[in-house]
Amino acid sequence: MRTLQDFPILSKWPARHPDRLQLYSLPTPNGVKVSIMLEETGLPYEAHRVSFDTQDQLSPEFLSLNPNNKIPAILDPHGPGGQPLALFESGAILVYLADKTGQLMPQDPARRYETLQWLMFQMGGVGPMFGQLGFFHKFAGKAYEDKRPLGRYVAESERLLGVLNGHLKGKRWVMGDDYSIADIAIFPWVRNLIGFYEARDLVHYDQFTEVDRVLQAFVARPAVQRGLEIPRAA
């Protein structure tokens, strides 16, 4: 039977509270999905900052937990069967935490799969497209004479916002009246698109009134406000 001492990541980020779930992350759109989920569920956890400035994500210790060298990742000392579980990929972690706590995922099988489809909508569309738009618009746009890549990602981001906007009409949250992991997955990316990426005008965001309505409700939640700042800078 494995114990926490079998995980090399603890040599770089020692657990002050080894009985709690260990989170390795940064306050990026993907990173805050998990910290928001943890804050919403009330599951005890300990957050560790994986600094990109010092390339912590490429350290042997972090790679032992996530060979794909991306945040977030978790180490749950109380995983299935009572054994520690290491897990990476934010979508997979959201599903795991929903199942572990019995929260923020519908129990009805059909509704569960509908929630998962919107989680996949974020993972396969919103995240990659918004992320590429941010790269070409905020960071690399001036270095490329060919503006077709930026144009492609702007158009696709607008399309995705349109899909989401249409779906949200008459709904409080993505799944109707029920707040879920679908909201936790999608709205940090919407917030980042118009905030950090400064792409509000580029994607004509103000036309997506339903998206903005739900975004404002999302960021007003106390657990979301806490989760957006975790792990805090030292």
Task: Please state, as a whole number, how many other Cβ atoms lie within 10 Å of the Cβ of residue 167.
Answer: 14
The average pLDDT across 122-126 equals 98
Q: Is the pLDDT of residue 184 over 90?
A: yes
Please report, in angstroms and rounded to a whole number, the separation of the first and last CA atoms in the chain. 35
Confidence category of residue 87, pLDDT binned at 50, 70, 90: very high
The average pLDDT across 123-139 equals 95
Q: What is the pLDDT of residue 18?
A: 95
Sign of the torsion formed by the C-alpha atoms of 174, 178, 182 and 186: positive
The residue assigned the tokens 């603890």 is 10
Task: Please state, as a whole number, how many other Cβ atoms lie within 10 Å of the Cβ of residue 34.
Answer: 28
Q: Calculate what percentage of the chain has a pLDDT beyond 90.
A: 91
159-163-164-167 Cα dihedral, nearest 10 degrees: 170
Q: Model pTM? A: 0.96
The average pLDDT across 112-132 equals 98
Q: What is the pLDDT of residue 186?
A: 98
Rounded distance between C-alpha atoms, residue 26 and residue 149, angstroms = 27
Residue 147's contacts (CB-CB under 8 Å, 6 or more residues apart) are: 141
Domains of the chain: 4-103 (3.40.30.10), 109-221 (1.20.1050.10)
- 205: enclosing H helix or E strand: none
Residues pairing with 86 in the sheet: 75
Instruction: Tell me which residue of 44, 32, 91, 74 sits closest to 224, measured CA to CA.
Output: 32
The average pLDDT across 210-234 equals 94
Confidence category of residue 139, pLDDT binned at 50, 70, 90: confident
Sign of the torsion formed by the C-alpha atoms of 183, 105, 132 and 151: negative
The average pLDDT across 154-168 equals 98
Mean pLDDT of all residues belonging to the chain: 95
Q: Is the pLDDT of residue 234 over 70?
A: no
Where is pLDDT greater, at 158 or 143? 158
> What type of residue is 139?
F
Q: Calculate what percentage of the chain has a pLDDT beyond 70.
A: 98
Residues pairing with 10 in the sheet: none
Confidence category of residue 142, pLDDT binned at 50, 70, 90: low
Rounded distance between C-alpha atoms, residue 138 and residue 231, angstroms = 24
Rounded distance between C-alpha atoms, residue 135 and residue 131, angstroms = 6
Least confident of 91-95, 110-114, 149-153: 149-153
**Residue 114 burial class via C-beta count within 10 angstroms: exposed 0-12, middle 13-18, buried 19 and up:** middle
Q: What is the pLDDT of residue 85?
A: 97
What single-letter DSSP state applies at residue 233? P
